[in-house]
Every structure is written in structure tokens, then in C-alpha cells.
Amino acid sequence: MGNLRGLMQTRLAIAALAVLSAIALLSTACVASGAPPAVGNPGDSSELLWLKAVRGQQAGIYDSAGRQVLLRGTNFNHLGDYFSTDPSLPTVATLDETDWADAAAQGMNVVRLVTNWSAWEPVRDQIDLSYLARVRAAVTAANAHGIYVVIDMHQDAWSKFVFTPAEEICPAGTSHQIGWDGAPSWATLTDGYPTCTPGGRENSPAVRAAWENFYKNAGGVRDELAQLWGFIATEFAEDAGVAGFDLLNEPGYGFDQSITLVGLAQFYAAAIAEIRAAELEVNSAGGSALGHVVFFEPTVNGPFVATEFSADPNLVFAPHNYGESIVGNGVAGFLELLAGALQTLTKAYGTTSWIGEYGIFTSDQAQATAYMSRFNRLDDRNPGAGGTWWQWEQQCGDPHNANGAYPPSAEWLASQQQNCTEAPRMNTACTARSYPRAMPGRLTSVVAEPCGGAVTVTGRTSAPSTAVLWFQSDSAVAPTVTGTGIGGSNAVQSRGGWRVTVEVSGDYKINLA
């Protein structure tokens, strides 16, 4: 694709594996460190400033005014290209102005935008420019509401093209594999392996064969995806409202773990090189590409790519944390254990972390509130760069709804068709909350009510500047601002809460209540 260069109970061992992997990685870690941008003063501006990541002792995401930024929001899958269980069931909801306005009303300042390789490049070497236009329109709409976008190359079980035909009879001990999302048909190389799975979606021999071939770069498919990232980087090279690029959602694994980890490292390195080359090319033509943040993930079942895959300073480790939700459900304390393991890994990479997916899946609101309160307090103790919960909307035909119900029965189809008439919002508890968005210099602590309300932050800055916080509240009375090392403040009400700016200098503390 060189000619186009211009244009996620078997995982319980993940925590122990994470710690062991991290210890090994720490012994060989050699990462580039950087310095945050010099502190400036953007005043009360609500403009989306350019973001960059820093590695090392000051690891974090910073804006061009030298403020440490937390990116908190949700996943939007409206542009996903999913397997269809039945033509009567839409796989995604329509993305409209209401979605962006409602996300902004929850105080969100980022959306992880699900996109799929199959939609970007349905035919080899041919980019679907209409899909590019849809992605660009989403970025524009997000930015108009003060929301950054992380463009995510999403996949689940490799591709919507790996599935077991409904009429096929699977051998004893296996079951039908539903299709999911990800790679185009031409990049789905299964070598004739059976699709019927002896376990979860990642265990299908055909899925594992497709990953093995990707990691071995069979037919150049790994290079093709890396080069696609070069194209995307070119198209969004000068967009400050694009927070960055999530290279590959929950990478799967082939038959050989060594091939998997080496191949994944090689893909990451190649994709980063393509992105940086694209940005340089834009600048050589008189553009102003400042370099987007690159987010990278571990494999879906726990093994982690070695630290040596890239010395690029503009990287962020972006794992998912479903502790006591999908992974380790019912194991008390597993959420905290997994969070601690991921923090250890983050230090091994010398980056900050950004939790690309998390959440609880239950209709019991008391249970959801209790879980999310724990998660949010844990997150505030080690905020990293923030994170995005899964997911904003889930339409009736989404494969997540059919997982374990494929091929679909008439009764299941009837129930899902009824669901299609209802709002597909996931409505997870405690996603609207108070937090610091941009803190001059270095953010040193966050203490916030887990479901909205009071928040206290501390930080340290080398020069006077302006902090920006979101205060979640339906009250018409502005929050009180107290603290130390602070000057004037301003609170502007919008739907759902208040945008509060506070002048700070030196060591500072801000209380909003």
C-alpha cells in the first residue's frame, strides 16, 4: 500500500503474568524520556490545544500550554463495521448531534472512536474515501463540543469474515463462532483451519491462524495495516482535536506465543514509523504536524510486548481493565490487583497509562454504582492520562448481544427485534463525574467524589498559568473555589455541570465544592 502513503474465567492468571512480565521488562527497559512543554497561560480559552505524551519521570499527556491533561470519556462504536447476525438487526446506532451533546453534558473531553480496517480498506490498496469522510465528520463534531478524539483501529476475534456458517454442524466440544469485526476479507488468512471454537471467540483455530499469519506478515498483511496508519496520520496530521491513534484494539494471539509477541512488536514499530514519516512529509510540504500521541495495547489474554519495540517519546500504554467485571468476576480484590499490575507495567514502559476500556455489565444499578465507585476511586489514586468506558451505545444487532446465541433462534431474534425499538444506550453508573482536565505543570493528586460532586487537586507549576476543571452538578449555583497558590477563578455553567478555570502558581491546591 505504499502508493497510499499520501492519502478485547480463563484469564485469571493475567495479574500474575502481568507482574512477572513487568519484572522481566523492568530489567531490560530502556526508554526515551522527555520534558513537558514549557508552561504558558492559555487563560480561559476552551480551545482544544495540541497534545503530546512524555515518557520517563514526568510521564503524562500534556497540552501545548504545558498543562498535564486527563482524557476521560467513552467509546463510540457508531462507525464500526460489524458482523450481521440477521439483516433485520442493525449492528450500530446512528451517530448524531445528540450523542455529542450528551457526552459533553457528562463532562467528557474525549471519545475513543471505533473504526475498522475492513471499512478503511475493503479492497487492498484502495482506501474508502467515504469512510474517511465519516471519520472526519465525527472528529469535527466532537471538537465542536470540546471533545478530543482517539482514533481506534478496532478488532474482535480478527474479523467479521471469520464465522461458522449457520448450517454447519460443529464437532462435540466445540460451538459455532460468530463473526465479529476487524480486518477485511483479503487480509483474513485462515489457511483452511476450522472456525468452530472449543472455547471463547479468541480460541477458534481459524481466528488463531489469521493472527499467526498477520504476525508472520504473510502476504505482507502486517505491513499493509502499518501503512494504513501512515495514510490516517497524513489525513489528520494537523488536527489538534485528534488526541492520537490507538494502533490495534486487544491484539489476539496465534499458535505460537513467541511469534505473537515478536510480530506484534514489529507491527507497532512499523506503524509508528509510518505515522512519523507521514507527519514529516506533511511538514516538508509546508504543513504544521506536531506529532500525534500513539496509544499501544497488550494482547487480549495478557502477554505484553517488550519495551524495546520503540524509543518514540510520544507513546502511551493503553491497557483495558475489566477486573471483577469480565476478568476475575467474583474474586474479591481482583480489580485492585489488576490495576496494580498494570501500573507496574506502565512504569516498565516508561510511559503514562490510559485505560482504553473498562466497565461493568449488569442491570442492577446498585451493583453498578458500587463497582464504578470503586473503580473511580482507584483511578483517581493513579489517574495516569484518564480512560474511556465501554461503551456509549450497543445496538440490538451488535455481536456482543449475540455472543453465545449464534446461530440465532427465532425466539432470540424476536427478543432482539423488540430491543431495536428501545434506546441502545448502555447507561453505566457514575460516568459523569468531577475531575481536572488540564493542570499547569504537574498534577500531583486527585481526590474526587466517585459519582460527581466535590473534587480536590494538587499540582506544581514553574510559571503562573490557568487550570481547567469540570464540576459535575445540576445546581444553578456555581461551585465554591478555595485552596492555596490560587488566584482568580471563573465558572461557566453548561448542561450537566460547570467548567471552572483557576489561576495558579507554584505549589497549588484547588478545592471545588
Question: Quick check: 349 and 307 in contact, CB under 8 A?
Answer: yes
The answer to whether residues 135 and 278 belong to one domain is yes
The residue among 130, 84, 33 whose CA lies nearest residue 350 is 33
Backbone angles phi, psi at 462, to 5 degrees: -85, -15
Domain boundary residue, one of 431, 460, 477 = 431
Question: Quick check: 229 and 246 in contact, CB under 8 A?
Answer: no
pLDDT of residue 121: 98
Low-confidence ranges of the chain (pLDDT < 70): 1-33, 303
The residue among 297, 316, 342 whose CA lies nearest residue 34 is 316
For residues 71 and 438, what is the distance between their CA atoms, to the nearest angstrom?
9
The answer to whether residues 283 and 378 belong to one domain is yes
- Residue 436's DSSP bridge partners are 469
Q: Determine the structural domain holding residue 162 and report its residue range.
A: 2-431
Question: Quick check: 265 and 306 in contact, CB under 8 A?
Answer: yes
The answer to whether residues 365 and 492 belong to one domain is no
pLDDT of residue 48: 96
The answer to whether residues 396 and 473 belong to one domain is no
The answer to whether residues 422 and 453 belong to one domain is no
Question: Quick check: 277 and 283 in contact, CB under 8 A?
Answer: no
The answer to whether residues 456 and 392 belong to one domain is no
The residue among 26, 87, 114, 58 whose CA lies nearest residue 349 is 26
The answer to whether residues 156 and 169 belong to one domain is yes
The answer to whether residues 371 and 479 belong to one domain is no
For residues 470 and 502, what is the distance between their CA atoms, to the nearest angstrom?
11
Kind and range of the H or E run holding 205: helix 205-215
How many structural domains compose the chain?
Answer: 2
User: What burial letters (b/e) apply to 9-29, b meaning 16+ CB within 10 Å?
Assistant: eebeebbebbbebbeebeeee
pTM of the model: 0.94
The answer to whether residues 99 and 228 belong to one domain is yes
C-alpha cell, 228:
494504513
**Strands, sheet with 315-317, edge to edge from the N-terminal-most edge strand:** 315-317, 293-296, 242-246, 148-153, 110-115, 71-76, 386-389
Kind and range of the H or E run holding 232: helix 221-235
For residues 490 and 473, what is the distance between their CA atoms, to the nearest angstrom?
16
Q: Which residues contact 78 (CB under 8 A, 6 or more apart)?
A: 92, 93, 94, 95, 99, 114, 138, 393
The answer to whether residues 96 and 117 belong to one domain is yes
pLDDT of residue 32: 53
The answer to whether residues 145 and 27 belong to one domain is yes
Domain boundary residue, one of 402, 431, 460 = 431
Domain boundary residue, one of 431, 462, 479 = 431
The answer to whether residues 413 and 496 belong to one domain is no
Q: What is the CATH number of the domain that holds 122?
A: 3.20.20.80
